[in-house]
Chains A and B, each alone.
Chain A
Amino acid sequence: KAGVTQTPRYLIKTRGQQVTLSCSPISGHRSVSWYQQTPGQGLQFLFEYFSETQRNKGNFPGRFSGRQFSNSRSEMNVSTLELGDSALYLCASSLGDVGNTIYFGEGSWLTVV
């Protein structure tokens, strides 16, 4: 059974640009959530999508957005990139019901220069 797949694995962007990251969940999983990981702040929850609807949201500015497609695949977008956005962005999927286990992908490393 294929795991959570994230693309691209590595990317470098310039301050002010925007970026789109993609996540394909485990087959059958309907919930996709996104996390930002930095050395200083650790793992922080961005948002969760279930059945194409944002179901929960963390405390990030509006520059961070996401969406989910009918096949459960998800994208997250960061606009007007700042140096502090450099991080490992992790996608996780689950069946979506309360208490279901959450599985992570390998992440997308974003460097903003």
Chain B
Amino acid sequence: GQQLNQSPQSMFIQEGEDVSMNCTSSSIFNTWLWYKQDPGEGPVLLIALYKAGELTSNGRLTAQFGITRKDSFLNISASIPSDVGIYFCAGGDSGGSNYKLTFGKGTLLTVNP
């Protein structure tokens, strides 16, 4: 089945620093999504990407859908303590009428005030 490689697995940074994480796949995806999950909660959508090459921002967050459709990255600028959490990438496979997400293993972000 499809698999996503998400890196890094974890990051420990100082408040104010920029952060970058990425996902790569051996398969093509039709959409790329980035979610953040806080402890005990469900994933919350941060950015959705629907077109190869698309670059989208949401406040301090910026994500891009790779040209090859096999990768995506997420950047967080000027990190703050509330950015702490697990960030997941997800590739959307919309073949036919089906729609399911394949998730990366997540990047655990810790921000030191």
B88 at the A interface (CB under 8 A): yes
Count of CB-CB pairs between chains A and B under 8 Å: 68
Question: Do A99 and B100 have beta carbons less than 8 Å apart?
Answer: no
**A50 — nearest CB in chain B belongs to which residue?**
B97
Counting contact residues on chain A (CB < 8 A from B), the size range is 20 to 34
Question: Do B98 and A55 have beta carbons less than 8 Å apart?
Answer: yes
Counting contact residues on chain B (CB < 8 A from A), the size range is 20 to 34
In angstroms, Cα B2 to Cα A59, docked, is: 12
Q: A99-B30, A104-B42 are in contact. Are A33 and B100 (CB under 8 A)?
A: yes
| Nearest CB of chain A from residue B35's CB, rounded to whole Å | 7
In angstroms, Cα B103 to Cα A45, docked, is: 9
| Nearest CB of chain B from residue A31's CB, rounded to whole Å | 7
Pick the contact of B97: A55, A90, A102, A106 (CB < 8 A).
A55
- The residues of B with any CB-CB pair to A shorter than 8 Å are 1, 30-31, 33, 35, 40-45, 48, 50, 88, 90, 92, 94, 97-106
Q: Name the 5 nearest CB pairs between A and B, nearest first.
A: A104-B42, A43-B103, A56-B98, A98-B94, A106-B42
